[in-house]
Amino acid sequence: MPTTGHTIKAFDQDLDRLRASIAEMGGLAEAAIAGAMRALIDRDVNAANAVIENDARLDALEAEVERQAVQVIALRAPMANDLREVVAALKIAGVVERMGDYAKNIAKRVHAIEPGADLQPLSLLPEMARITGDMVRMVLEAFIRRDPEQATQVSERDRAVDDFYNSIFRTLLTFMMERPQSITAATHLLFVAKNLERIGDHATNVAEMVYFAATGTHLAEREKGGDPARG
Amino acid sequence: MPTTGHTIKAFDQDLDRLRASIAEMGGLAEAAIAGAMRALIDRDVNAANAVIENDARLDALEAEVERQAVQVIALRAPMANDLREVVAALKIAGVVERMGDYAKNIAKRVHAIEPGADLQPLSLLPEMARITGDMVRMVLEAFIRRDPEQATQVSERDRAVDDFYNSIFRTLLTFMMERPQSITAATHLLFVAKNLERIGDHATNVAEMVYFAATGTHLAEREKGGDPARG
C-alpha cells in the first residue's frame, strides 16, 4: 500500500500526468468544435477534412490515458479516494473522446451540404457552438483544479444550450415547411444542432463527476437534453 | 499480489459477479429498445413512460458495476490481464447504459408524434430495431463467453443497420418533400433511426473490445456510422 512519502509523491505525479493528457484532449475537442463550425459556415471541405483527420489524435490520447490509468492502478495500488480519481480520469477521457466524435460528425456534414444551399437558420448555430466549446474548456479546467463552483457554472450553461437547440429545432422545421427544396440541407443542420446539444450534455455529465469528486455530494438532478420532443 | 488459489478464486467470483451485472444491464437495454419501438408503433404513451422509468434501473446498475469494479481492484489488486478485464467491464457497463439512453430517447418521441400523423416510412424502423436489439444481445453473450467469433458477427451485422439507416434517411427526406405537413413527425422518426444507428455503433464498439480482450489483436478498422451525410 502506498503509505511512504516517496510512493505518494509518485502517485501524485502519475495523476498529474493523467490530468495533463486529459487537458490536452479537452483542448483538442474544443478546437474540433470550433473548427467544424467554421468549416460548416465557410463550406470549407479542406477545413472539415482537417477536423476529421485530427480526431485520430483524440482517439490515441484516450487509449494513452487508459494505458496510463491501468499502469497507475497496477503499480501504485491506490486506495479509496485515489482509486476513485483514477477511475474518474478514465471515464472523463472517454467522454471527451466522444465529444470529439460529435465534432467530427459535424465536420462530415460539410461535404453533404450543397454549396448553393440556402441556409438562413445557420445564424443561431455559431453562438450555440461557442457556448458548448466554452463548456468543454470550463469543465476541464474545473476537473484539473477540482473546482466544484466552476462545475456548477458549466451545468447551468447547459440550459442555454438546450434553449438554443429548441429554438433551432423549431426554426428549421418552419424553414423546411416553407422551402421543401431545402429539406436535405436543413436536416443536416438539425443533426449539427443535435450534436452540439449532446456535447453540452456530455460537458454537464463531466461537471457532475467533478462536483461529486470534489464535494462527495451530487449536483441537483436535472432533466438531460433540450429536445422539444421530450416530455 | 493474488497468487494463492484462494485469492484467485475470489477474484474469479468477483469477475463473475461483475459479468452477471453487465448481462443484466444488457437484458434491460434490449428490452428497452424493443419496448420503445412497440410504444412508437402503437403510439402507446403508457408503454413509452414505462421504458423511460425503467431506464433508472440501468443507471443504478452502471453505478453498481463501477462500485464493484473499484472494490475488486482495491481488494484483489489484480495485475495485467485481470486488471484489463475489470477495466473492460467498467467501460462496457458505460456503453450499455448509453444504449439504454438511446432507447429512452426513442420512447420520449412517442409523446411528440401526434396520434393522427401519417407515418408510412415507419415500416422499415421495426426491422432495424430488431437487428440492433439482436446485436446488443449477441455482443453481451460474446462478452460473457469471451467469444471473438460472435464479436465478429456483431460487427458484421452493423453494416445491415447502416444500410437500414441510409434507406430510412432517404425515404424520410422524400416523404417530407412530398408532404410538408408531415415534416415534424418525420423529423422525429429521423432521430429514432439515428438513435438505433448509434446503438448499433455502440454494440460494434463493445464487439471490438471483446475481440481485443479475447485475441489481443484488433478487429479490422471500419468506418463507423451509416450516415449518408458522411464521406
List, for residues A193-225, the tens digit of each pLDDT value.
999 999 999 999 999 989 988 887 888 654 444
Q: ipTM surpassing 0.95, yes or no?
A: no
For chain B, say whether A212 makes contact (Cβ under 8 Å).
no
Query: What sign for the dihedral angle of Cα B212, B77, A98, B67?
Result: positive
Residue among A66, A79, A229 whose CB faces B74 most closely: A79
A112:B229 CB<8 A: yes
Long-range contacts of B88-92 (CB under 8 A, 24+ apart): B88/B209, B88/B213, B89/B15, B89/B18, B89/B19, B89/B22, B89/B65, B90/A87, B90/A90, B90/B65, B90/B66, B91/A94, B91/B209, B92/B22, B92/B143, B92/B206, B92/B209
- Taking the CA of residue A53 and the nearest CA in chain B, the distance in Å comes to 13
Q: From CA B191, how far away is CA B196, in angstroms rounded?
A: 9
| Domains in chain B: boundaries | 5-215
**CATH 1.10.1200.10 is the classification of domain B5-215:** no
Alpha carbon A215 to its chain centroid, in Å, reads: 23
Residues 6+ apart with CB under 8 A from B88: B209, B213
* pLDDT tens for each residue of chain A, 231 residues long: 444 455 668 888 999 999 999 999 999 999 999 999 999 988 899 999 999 999 999 999 999 998 899 888 888 888 777 888 888 898 899 999 999 999 999 999 998 887 666 676 678 899 999 999 999 999 999 999 989 999 999 999 999 999 999 999 999 998 898 888 889 889 999 999 999 999 999 999 999 989 988 887 888 654 444 444 432
pLDDT tens-digit series, residues B88-140: 898 899 999 999 999 999 999 998 887 666 676 678 899 999 999 999 999 99
Cα end-to-end distance, chain A, whole Å = 50
CB contact under 8 A, B187 and A183: no
Task: List the single best residue of B18, B209, B227 to mutate versus A (max A Cβ within 10 A).
Answer: B227
Say yes or no: B194 contacts chain A, CB-CB below 8 A: yes
Q: Which of B184, B208, B209 to mutate to test the interface with A (most CBs of A within 10 A)?
A: B184
Q: How far apart are CA A141 and CA A16, in angstroms?
A: 13
